[in-house]
Structure 1
Amino acid sequence: MPPAPPKQTIFTTMSALATELGAINLGQGFPDAEHAPELLAAAQRALAHKSNQYPPMRGLPELRAAICDYYGRRQGLALDPAQVVVTSGATEALAASILAVVQRGDEVIVLQPCYDAYIPLIERAGGMAVAVNLAPPHWTIPFDALAAAITPRTRLIIANTPNNPTGTLLTRADFERLGELCEAHDLTLLCDEVWEGMIFNGSAHASPLHVDSLKGRAIKVGSAGKLFSLTGWKVGWAVAAAPLADAIAGQHQFLTFTTATPLQWAVAEGLTLPDEWHDAHAAIYAPRRAQLIAGLEAAGYVVLPSAGTWFVTIDLAASGLPADDELVAERLIREAGVASIPVSAFYRDNALRGYLRLCFAKQEGVIEEALGRLAGFRTSI
């Protein structure tokens, strides 16, 4: 018999249900308006006037150079295009990176809550995921538990900053400690940094590539879709020391091989926009974030601290609601017409319940309507 199909992701499930019921979708993380006309114009020009044939497998040289220049300006990283592999979205960058490092029987430590693609990708590579749980309200790394989880079979640690779903950040000090563990046990660190351009509390983004002990053993994953609010473009990249980048490219060539040429040209142009443009683009979301948090708190919801992404997390029990996030999410979409994501979906075996993720990358009128429904739901349940 053929194997059972993989379980549908919670994002697909909730978005489909939102469409079916006509609910406001604060679940899946995508904006409800286009905010980067410069990128759309660049894509149109590229489609009409540049090549529409296969680009180089590792990405257009112009895009790889633009990625290096962007990280040099914005994060102070000194990179070479030989370190960059352009992929068809950040999820493909994660897949190619995991396949490049993990062999059958290897163990991979996953800090959860985590993006729900990590564990299936590890398993497709023949590896075994070992979960180390982050705990609310601050979701900091429990380094003693992390060190205890390392065995002779461990090959990789996967981290995420800013974290999806919690919006919390790893610090330079966190990466220094991760570097010590990786050096001591000869491990690779895969860091999902797709939300690096969406930080709202004035903090600086930290990457493992800032840390000397990790420069040769860390992989940084980025996303044009998140930087430019064009999630459907599916242009991502992996950045690593040249030997690691070569191994990632070796896997990428047998996954998607390459990525849409006009979109690569457009992303290259977008990355060269001045820092003021990038700052202003991220700032679009700050008042919407403030609107959602203030409205939730006024309605009696307890919102946990966060610094980045397009999401906020509410503590159900502290908000006077049942601590079963799947149940509350189901009732919320059916009874109040608002889609959310239960944070338990970001834990293997739903190891932590009681928290909901809501997306603020929506128009102000949509957020206002959602807040009214959320307020009514809390008093009715």
Structure 2
Amino acid sequence: AIAEKECRFSGLNANPDSEIIVSAGATGAMYCAFQALLNPGDEVIVFEPYYGYHISTLRAVEAVPLYVRMQPPDWSFTPDDLERRVTPRTRGIILNTPGNPSGKVFSRQEIEVIAAFAQRHDLFVFTDEIYEHFIYDGLHHISPATLPDMKARTITISGSSKTFSVTGWRIGYAICDARWAQAIGYFNDLIYVCAPAPLQIGVAKGMLTLGDEYYHGLSVEYAAKRDKFCSALTDAGLMPYVPKGAYYVLADVSHVPGKTSKERAMHILHETGVASVPGSAFFHDESGENMVRFCFAKEDHILDEACERLGKLKKG
């Protein structure tokens, strides 16, 4: 089911018998990949703002993150940004597209830059593509493994918890060259034995039976939620960095009372009852202290209530 789905949507061809590892969620798949392919002290380049679990997982295997700062509002980077960070100890790079928390959707040109960089320095590319079906504004998801000469060095990681709205169902997977899949499989078996079999059956059923209209509908539905929520943030005086994918939005809260992003998030929560995650969770330094991250993956009536409550900030 995974092989058919990836071929259908990403153009990624994989042998289900030797190139796919099913694990306990995408995080489980990434942890096993890191255990198998990284040694203590190995460096891995991470785009910032980052998803915190990527950093935690690297540290769990004693790898060292190297940060490449993306610049708002479109979260851009340059080839020189990458070259300045790489060292002889660098072993890989993590690419999260669409990204959490930024909603960044890496373009084909950007992925080609990353691919050339990885080939030049002989790096693994670990891709987290869990939000692949949440893409807006006519953009398209590009899986790095589909680029020329990239399949052998790319570890494609994804899952079904976001696409099927079953975040408690820990079903994720890694797709990679059979050499790496065998090593990853050893750790997956040791740590998890296997992902829950009944849930695997349910996810496979969804992959095999849901048509294109379901996946297209996700983009349409969540684009509307994004637009509604970003409009409410703007009206409340919280400038949103409008995401191109995923279902989170970073907002500038520099005018909100407080000295840190945690204090500002707590102020918003106290004044409106709307929760957010402090921006400091997504940066290794103080760069996130003027931001918070909101999630708009909510039922419409809840999202409407949140938008109305945010209006209290403007009135205040």
TM-score range, shorter chain: over 0.9
- Classify 1:344/1:135 alpha carbon distance in 2 versus 1 (closer, same or farther; 3 Å): farther
Matched, 1:331 2:267: yes
CA distance in 1, matches of 2:214, 2:62: 43
CA distance in 1, matches of 2:232, 2:62: 45
Task: Select between 196-205 and 367-376 the one with higher mean Cα deviation.
Answer: 367-376
CA distance in 2, matches of 1:108, 1:285: 32
Please tell me whether the aligned partners of residues 288 and 363 of structure 1 are also in contact (alpha carbons under 8 angstroms): no
**Aligned-pair distance for 1:294?**
2.1
Q: Give the aligned partner of residue 8 of structure 2.
A: 73
State the SS of the aligned residue for 1:213: coil
Of residues 177, 186, 195, the one that matches 1:259 is: 195
Q: Which AA in structure 2 matches 1:366?
A: I
Q: Give the aligned partner of residue 154 of structure 1.
A: 90
Q: Which AA in structure 2 matches 1:333?
A: L
**1:292-328 deviation digits (Å, cap 9, x = unpaired):** 12222233332213211111221223xx435742221
Of residues 184, 190, 201, the one that matches 2:137 is: 201
Please tell me whether the aligned partners of residues 133 and 218 of structure 2 are also in contact (alpha carbons under 8 angstroms): no
**1:18-73 deviation digits (Å, cap 9, x = unpaired):** xxxxxxxxxxxxxxxxxxxxxxxxxxxxxxxxxxxxxxxxxxxxxxxx11111111
Q: Which AA in structure 1 matches 2:118?
A: C
Matched, 1:275 2:212: yes
CA distance in 2, matches of 1:183, 1:353: 35
Of residues 228, 238, 243, the one that matches 2:174 is: 238
**Aligned-pair distance for 1:151?**
0.8
Matches for 1:24-103 after TM superposition, within 5 Å: 66-81=1-16, 82-103=18-39
Q: Which AA in structure 2 matches 1:271?
A: M
Please tell me whether the aligned partners of residues 271 and 312 of structure 2 are also in contact (alpha carbons under 8 angstroms): no
Task: Select between 100-109 and 83-92 the one with higher mean Cα deviation.
Answer: 100-109
Q: Which AA in structure 1 matches 2:134?
A: M
Q: Give the aligned partner of residue 304 of structure 1.
A: 241
Q: Give the aligned partner of residue 295 of structure 1.
A: 232
Matches for 1:169-248 after TM superposition, within 5 Å: 169-248=105-184
| TM-score for both structures, normalised by structure 2 | 0.94
**Aligned-pair distance for 1:197?**
1.1
State the identity as a percent. 34
| Runs of 4 or more above 4 Å deviation | none
State the SS of the aligned residue for 2:298: coil
**Aligned-pair distance for 1:367?**
1.6
State the SS of the aligned residue for 2:152: coil
Please tell me whether the aligned partners of residues 235 and 314 of structure 2 are also in contact (alpha carbons under 8 angstroms): no
Q: Which AA in structure 1 matches 2:2?
A: I
CA-atom RMSD, angstroms?
1.7
Matched, 1:362 2:298: yes
**1:337-368 deviation digits (Å, cap 9, x = unpaired):** 11101222111244432122111111222122
Please tell me whether the aligned partners of residues 165 and 343 of structure 1 are also in contact (alpha carbons under 8 angstroms): no
CA distance in 2, matches of 1:364, 1:105: 46
Q: Give the aligned partner of residue 166 of structure 1.
A: 102
CA distance in 1, matches of 2:44, 2:57: 11
Matched, 1:284 2:218: no
Q: Give the aligned partner of residue 251 of structure 2.
A: 314
Q: Which AA in structure 1 matches 2:270?
A: R
**Aligned-pair distance for 1:282?**
4.1
Please tell me whether the aligned partners of residues 172 and 207 of structure 1 are also in contact (alpha carbons under 8 angstroms): no
Please tell me whether the aligned partners of residues 321 and 378 of structure 1 are also in contact (alpha carbons under 8 angstroms): no
For structure 2, the residue ranges without an aligned partner over 5 or more in a row are none
Matched, 1:346 2:282: yes
Please tell me whether the aligned partners of residues 87 and 93 of structure 1 are also in contact (alpha carbons under 8 angstroms): yes
CA distance in 2, matches of 1:334, 1:300: 17
CA distance in 1, matches of 2:81, 2:29: 28
Matches for 1:83-162 after TM superposition, within 5 Å: 83-162=19-98
**1:91-141 deviation digits (Å, cap 9, x = unpaired):** 111111111111022111111211111222212212222222112111123
CA distance in 2, matches of 1:298, 1:280: 27
| TM-score for both structures, normalised by structure 1 | 0.78
- Classify 1:378/1:325 alpha carbon distance in 2 versus 1 (closer, same or farther; 3 Å): farther
Please tell me whether the aligned partners of residues 127 and 155 of structure 2 are also in contact (alpha carbons under 8 angstroms): yes
For structure 1, the residue ranges without an aligned partner over 5 or more in a row are 1-65
Please tell me whether the aligned partners of residues 94 and 126 of structure 2 are also in contact (alpha carbons under 8 angstroms): yes
Q: Which AA in structure 2 matches 1:241?
A: D
